[in-house]
Amino acid sequence: MPLAHAAAPAGDTAAYDHLFEQAMAQYHLPGLAVGVIEDGQVVYRRAAGERSAGSGEAIDADTLFKIASNSKAMTTGLLARLVDQGKLAWDDPVTKYLPAFRMYDPWVTRNIQVRDLLVHNSGLGLGAGDLMLWPEPNDFTRADIIAGLAYLKPTHSFRAHYAYDNLLYVVAGEVAARASGKPYDQLVREQVFAPLGMARCQVGAWRPREVGNIAQPHMRQDGGNVPVREDGERVADVPSMAAGGIRCSLDDMLRWMDRAWLQPDPKQPWLSEAQRRAVWSLHTPMPISQRMRDWDGTRLYGYGYGWRLSDVDGQWKVAHTGTLMGMYSSLVLLPDRRSGFVILINGEGEAARTALGEALQKHLLGADPKFDVAYYAAAMARDEAKPKPPAARKPDTSRRQPVASQAAAARSGVYQDPWFGEVRLCPVDGALAFTVARSPLLRGKVMQSGGRWLVDWDDASVDAEPWLDFAPDAQGHATMRLKAIDPDADFSYDYGDLAFLRSGDCP
């Protein structure tokens, strides 16, 4: 079924332009792309800004963005296609396809099913093991991730409640590969991109110069947008593909919304009705925040297969977000209205995504025009201004100093974690440095703040500093643990699951 690009009534276009321009101005975004579908027709497509700040290269509807965790729905759609084709079943044990797969608890290893990989109920803590995925680049492989899962201790019982994870989506991608006999990236191109006409999307290894028109991530620095972690000559086949490693353009995402979900071809549907229901069924309840109750009247919220399901102002909503360093995305579907929107941002856009997404949603639902980007920006600012309890505040570490040489000598050495590998706490250029063998961006100077040590990362894009805590274990061996200094640090800085044991002296 062709994607309809109908001309929108002038009033609607003006309203969407108003929201788009508010977001760009309010949040000083380097680039933004927005597409809206109403009743099965694309009524709005707009892109603005630069692919890389200062380049003069304009973003358009074909510019590739990292869609981050919006990749998850493509992975689950791929698995649903394989179920339709009789190549796997949702209740198959994971070990049927990956015999070497192990979780920390042997009972969970035996009983975890394909469906459990997708719904965040594994018993793992929030973002467990994500340091094997990010920050990129690093040299962890999918095999390393599958092996590392055996060392990640659960924080609660299997299937007890929701806790977002990424590693099990990596496993799900490998299950798809084993079930079909083809690599994950080839499967996505054949089963997702090709039948839906998503010609610009990229997965696996590829060369930016050959593809062209690619947005780069940015961070805010000194009042401006600065490109960070830019693409080199080759984009690698990263382990995070199935969890968050796909890139697509605005027009690709509109095709994904329309052809796969809002109005699939009745003669040749991309998925059977049974699999559409499975993917969009609520499998794991999620907590409903006070903001969702206040803004949207939400009464029901949970996770399907790669989608978040809820009610908003009495309407059924199917949605997801995507977050990577310097890249933010949001996709919202209102299936009963055959409507929805997509937002793609190549900068620090968490607040922009929230305010613009809420305003677009309200517009689609016919709410008062006062519910615009400025309205939600002000509401979030009021929330931020509320005093936080002491445990939720980031401590002041501005008076940090290099650690004393005597103390540095006592604690320096080589440390090992069973899933993360080697870390060195060794002198470099006259200072004590923290260096991760397999993740080169995780390198910094060890400093002292009050009575505690912390790591001051060399790369400004690594934005979650950890405390370093030292103590002997029960056998008297020297250990080191990490903890995020900022209580609001991104959960993918999975410091809490690391347990380092000193293994030797500095070379």
- The predicted structure's pLDDT at residue 6: 42
CB of 160 closer than 8 Å to CB of 119: no
Q: How far apart are CA 298 and CA 142, in angstroms?
A: 37
Amino acid making up residue 130: D
- The predicted structure's pLDDT at residue 431: 92
Tell me if residue 458 falls in helix, strand or coil.
coil
- The predicted structure's pLDDT at residue 201: 98
The lowest-confidence range among 2-11, 82-91, 149-158, 443-452 is: 2-11
Would you say residue 224 has pLDDT above 70?
Answer: yes
Label residue 253 exposed, middle or buried (CB < 10 Å: 0-12, 13-18, 19+).
buried
- The predicted structure's pLDDT at residue 11: 46
Would you say residue 2 has pLDDT above 50?
Answer: no
Phi-psi bin for 326: left (phi > 0), alpha (psi -120 to 50), beta? left
Would you say residue 8 has pLDDT above 60?
Answer: no
What predicted TM-score, i.e. pTM, was given to this entire model? 0.96
- The predicted structure's pLDDT at residue 333: 98
- The predicted structure's pLDDT at residue 271: 98
pLDDT bucket at 20, cuts 50 / 70 / 90: very high
Provide the 8-state DSSP code for 306: S
- The predicted structure's pLDDT at residue 7: 43
CB of 322 closer than 8 Å to CB of 67: yes
| Domains in the chain, CATH or no CATH each | 10-47+70-385 (3.40.710.10), 401-504 (2.40.128)
pLDDT bucket at 10, cuts 50 / 70 / 90: very low
Q: How far apart are CA 61 and CA 254, in angstroms?
A: 10
Q: How far apart are the first and last CA of the chain?
A: 63
Residue % of the chain over a pLDDT of 70: 98
Residue % of the chain over a pLDDT of 90: 94
Q: How far apart are CA 112 and CA 93, in angstroms?
A: 6
pLDDT bucket at 405, cuts 50 / 70 / 90: confident
Would you say residue 260 has pLDDT above 80?
Answer: yes
State the DSSP string of 137-187: S----HHHHHHHGGG---SS-TTSS----SHHHHHHHHHHHHHHTS-HHHH
The lowest-confidence range among 120-124, 190-194, 385-389 is: 385-389
Amino acid making up residue 388: K
- The rounded Cα 14 to chain-centroid distance in angstroms is 32
CB of 222 closer than 8 Å to CB of 204: no
Tokens of 143: 């095999």
Tokens of 307: 């989608």
Would you say residue 142 has pLDDT above 70?
Answer: yes
Q: What is the mean pLDDT of residues 320-336?
A: 98
pLDDT bucket at 442, cuts 50 / 70 / 90: very high
CB of 502 closer than 8 Å to CB of 415: yes
Q: What is the mean pLDDT of residues 58-80?
A: 98
Provide the 8-state DSSP code for 40: T
Phi-psi bin for 414: left (phi > 0), alpha (psi -120 to 50), beta? beta
Q: What is the mean pLDDT of residues 84-112?
A: 98
Instruction: Specify the DSSP element, H or E, that contains 446.
Output: strand 443-449
- The predicted structure's pLDDT at residue 308: 98
Would you say residue 396 has pLDDT above 90?
Answer: yes
For the segment 288-297, what is each residue's pLDDT rounded down to a tens digit? 999 999 999 9
**292-330 exposure pattern, b = at least 16 Cβ within 10 A, e = fewer:** beebbebeebbbbbbbbbbebeebebbbbbbbbbbbbbb
Provide the 8-state DSSP code for 459: S
Q: What is the mean pLDDT of residues 63-85?
A: 98
Nearest Cα to Cα of residue 461 among 270, 213, 218, 186:
218
Tell me if residue 395 falls in helix, strand or coil.
coil
Would you say residue 389 has pLDDT above 60?
Answer: yes
Tokens of 80: 């649903």
Would you say residue 9 has pLDDT above 50?
Answer: no
Amino acid making up residue 67: I
CA atoms within 13 A on the CB side of 261: 28
Cis geometry, peptide bond prior to residue 440 (ω within 30 degrees of 0) = no
Tell me if residue 409 falls in helix, strand or coil.
helix
Tell me if residue 368 falls in helix, strand or coil.
coil
- The predicted structure's pLDDT at residue 165: 96
| CA atoms 34, 39, 41, 43: torsion sign | negative
Amino acid making up residue 235: V
Beta partners for 35? 45, 342
Q: Mean of the per-residue pLDDT values for the chain?
A: 96
Would you say residue 407 has pLDDT above 90?
Answer: no
